[in-house]
Amino acid sequence: MALRDSRGGREYDKFVADGSGDTAMRMSVTSSVTSSASAATVTVAATSGTGTVILDDTDVAGKERMGIQMFNVTASGDYTFKVWGTLVTTPGSVGGANWTQIGDDIAVAAATPNAYKAIATTPIKSIGVSCYKTGGAGTQTATVYLMAD
């Protein structure tokens, strides 16, 4: 067998001994099913704390990675988003005792309409997003998109 410089190019790495001592071909099998969810545009009145839930408890069990985009769809105020994750099967309300915040608070300014920021995370059971407004008058709207595969 010819050996190459890279580990993946070595022929002997493709074979593995099975339980009986015979040699078998090493195989890697993957499956990909992508899930997506989006929250309808939600009116946000909260100004602190957990805030208004934008994306409710969404099951992402079995997914290897999640990408979340948070949009400020008005030009009149700023938002702070919080992404929540849990491993509990029935965790209750997003942001409650069985939820843990993923990352820091995410501020999305209203400098232009449809301003957004994104965050990614690794495997968890369920995910949710909440936000509160930090500036601007009256009620404002926001939306969230989730992609998991």
CATH assignment at residue 51:
2.60.120.510
- Count Cα neighbours of 21 within 13 Å in the Cβ-side half-sphere: 0
Q: Is a pLDDT exceeding 60 seen at residue 6?
A: no
Q: Of 22-36, 70-84, 118-132, where does mean pLDDT reach its minimum?
A: 22-36
Phi/psi of residue 114, each to 5°?
65, 30
CA–CA distance, 60 with 120 (Å, rounded to integer) = 13
Cβ atoms of 137 and 76 within 8 Å: the answer is yes
Which pLDDT tens digit goes with each residue over 30-65?
A: 445 556 666 666 777 778 888 888 888 988 888 888
Does residue 11 lie in a domain region? Answer: no
CA–CA distance, 135 with 137 (Å, rounded to integer) = 7
Does residue 9 lie in a domain region? Answer: no
Q: Which amino acid is at 29?
A: V
Tell which wins on pLDDT, 24 or 148: 148
Q: What pLDDT shows up at residue 100?
A: 94
**Nearest partner of 32 among 149, 120, 129, judged by Cα:** 149
As a whole number, mean pLDDT of residues 76-90 equals: 88
What 8-state DSSP symbol labels residue 11?
G
How much is the pTM? 0.71
**Nearest partner of 47 among 115, 116, 130, judged by Cα:** 130
Which pLDDT tens digit goes with each residue over 130-141?
A: 988 887 766 677
Share of the chain above pLDDT 90, in %: 18
What 8-state DSSP symbol labels residue 20?
T
**Nearest partner of 68 among 17, 140, 119, 133, judged by Cα:** 119
Q: Which amino acid is at 106?
A: I
Does residue 3 lie in a domain region? Answer: no
Does residue 43 lie in a domain region? Answer: yes
Q: What pLDDT shows up at residue 31?
A: 47
Query: Which structural domain range is residue 137 located in?
Result: 35-148
Q: What pLDDT shows up at residue 30?
A: 46
Does residue 1 lie in a domain region? Answer: no
Does residue 28 lie in a domain region? Answer: no
Does residue 22 lie in a domain region? Answer: no
Domain count, the chain: 1
What 8-state DSSP symbol labels residue 39?
P
As a whole number, mean pLDDT of residues 92-113 equals: 87
Q: Is a pLDDT exceeding 70 seen at residue 115?
A: yes
Q: What pLDDT shows up at residue 66?
A: 86
Does residue 132 lie in a domain region? Answer: yes
CA–CA distance, 120 with 80 (Å, rounded to integer) = 17
Q: What pLDDT shows up at residue 114?
A: 64
